[in-house]
Structure 1
Amino acid sequence: MKLLVVEDEKALAQGLKFNFEQEGYTVLTAEDGPTALNYFQECYETDDESVDLVILDLMLPGMSGYEIAKEIRRTDEVVPILVLSARELSEDKAYAFDCGTDQYMTKPFALPELLSRVKNLLKRKSLVKPALAQTKKLPVLYKFGNVIVDFESFEIEVGGERKSLTNLELRLLKYFIEHEGMVLTRSQILEDVWGEQSAFVTTRTIDNFVLRLRKLVESNPAEPVHIVSVRGAGYRFMPEEAAE
């Protein structure tokens, strides 16, 4: 298993590298964003050498950890990203999750807990990958109604107007599309889309995200025809408006 540690404090980076190597992991270290992304891309292009998990500081020179997480998610939606940061505000944690990270630990931290979290994230990844391999692969550009979704650019085009999506908005929309016509419960969505982050959010969060998506893709968000509510159950995605 290969880990990428993105940390500009050299002593800490070397300490993490030593301890992870003692656990049997191969470890790459990077002090800044461009170096980290270069390492990640080079490994990603060689399947048997891809990075299995990223440990990411947020306060880095030139390029923040938030930006790095967004760029990694454009390439790989599955690789676990664990934030290790001195930032303790709930706003920082929420934004990190919006950028696609999986777990968040604050400094100073307990090494046994970090090792345990890494182990669990890697185990979860090994279970997720086979499931994803069975999922129907969507085209880069997906059209429904008057909406065109561009999964690579994190943008949608509605009636000729382009709009940007956050990582979580795109993940939720993609999840709906992949499960076209199925009734999806809030707890199911929370577990499958938010994953490890679900401990930090509630089912009300899903309702808020659905409202945001409706404002982006529905002609009349108050009377949605694509992301529809199923009373007492959850939501259903319908690519075409149901006939009267």
Structure 2
Amino acid sequence: MRILVVEDEEAIAEGLKFNFEQEGYEVVVATDGHEALAAVSQTDAEEFALIVLDLMLPGLSGYEVLRELRQKQVMTPVLVLSARTLSEDKILAFDLGGDQYMTKPFALREILSRVKSLIHRHQSIRLSTPAAPADPAPAAEQSSSTQGSSPGRFQFGRVIVNFQTFQVSVGERVHSLTTLELELLKYFIEHQGEVLSRTRILNHVWDEHAEVTTRTIDNFVLRLRKLIEPDPSKPVHILSVRGTGYRFLPFPSSQDVTDEEFAE
């Protein structure tokens, strides 16, 4: 497996390269933003199992690199490694498609653990398909070809979630998801109909050492709503539960949507 390390501080870059190689990974090092994008464009992006990305880079910042990678539909997991500690920096990194965020200085064991976890998640999620939803609609109104799940995908209404390609299709529109975006949507699908607290979601979807808050979950939910909801300002699938968290309904009824408990 190959890891791309994007880091302009030579000592850190070489230290990461050495330790990753000791774990059996092949490592490519880029020392600025332009070099990082070139490394990805010159090879099949899927050949990289993970990208470790610094934010303060010469040329193009890590933010710009991350934005361009996601715009080009490169969905390789990205672990942001930065000396920036403000919550605004972390939120922006997540909004641009980062999967995890670590601050410098860092513990070697922790970063190795996170690398293994992200790579494992990205690979295993492709092989899993949540159980088909219990559709409350009359059988005459549904067909097995348009609802439920099949190997590697899950469908509800006009939405098709493809766990092998990390994509969500809504009608003719196709959107790529990051590892954590897909992991969060998968968790909602697996627990459809349940009221899920933000703390529960955080504990099950994010790494136990991830430097995120419950506000991070809200930002991820907003992005998912923009993709799967007919009207993101009036969600019918990912409903807010006041003071608690969220509830996912693949086939919502009018009562579910208008219930005051789930009002925005």
Are positions 1:123 and 2:120 aligned together?
no
Superposition deviation, residue 201 in structure 1: 0.6
Report the alpha carbon displacement of residue 193 of structure 1 after superposing the two structures with TM.
4.3
State the SS of the aligned residue for 1:75: coil
- Answer 1 or 2: which has greater helix percent: 1
User: Which of 78, 83, 88 is matched with 1:86 structurally?
Assistant: 83
CA shift, 1:60, in A, is 1.6
The answer to whether structure 1 residue 134 and structure 2 residue 122 are counterparts is no
Residues 71-220 of structure 1 mapped to structure 2, 5 A cutoff: 71-73=68-70, 74-76=73-75, 79=77, 81-99=78-96, 100-106=98-104, 109=105, 113=107, 115-125=108-118, 127-128=120-121, 129-135=123-129, 136-137=152-153, 138=161, 140=167, 142-143=169-170, 150-152=174-176, 171=182, 174-175=185-186, 178-179=189-190, 181-183=192-194, 185-186=196-197, 187-195=199-207, 198-202=210-214, 206=217, 210=221, 217=229, 219=231
The size of the alignment, in residue pairs, is: 216
State whether residues 183 and 236 of structure 1, in contact with CA within 8 Å, keep that contact through their aligned partners in structure 2.
yes
Structure 2 unpaired stretches of 5+:
130-151, 154-160, 256-264
- Hey, what's the Cα distance between the residues in 2 that align with 1:7 and 1:209? 26
- The one-letter code matched in structure 2 to 1:40 is V
Q: What is the letter of the counterpart of residue 130 of structure 1?
A: S
Q: Which residue of 1 aligns with 2:145?
A: none
Q: Which residue identity is paired with 2:40?
A: F
Report the equivalent of 2:249: 238
Taking a change above 3 Å as real, the CA distance of residues 96 and 206 of structure 1, as seen in their structure-2 partners, is closer
- After TM superposition, the score normalised by the length of structure 2 is 0.60
Q: CA RMSD in A?
A: 4.1
Partner Cα separation in structure 2 for residue 35 and residue 190 of structure 1: 34
TM-score, length of structure 1 as denominator length: 0.64
Alignment gaps of 5+ in structure 1: 155-166
AA aligned to 2:32 is D
- Offset, 1:30: 0.9
Paired-residue identity, % = 42
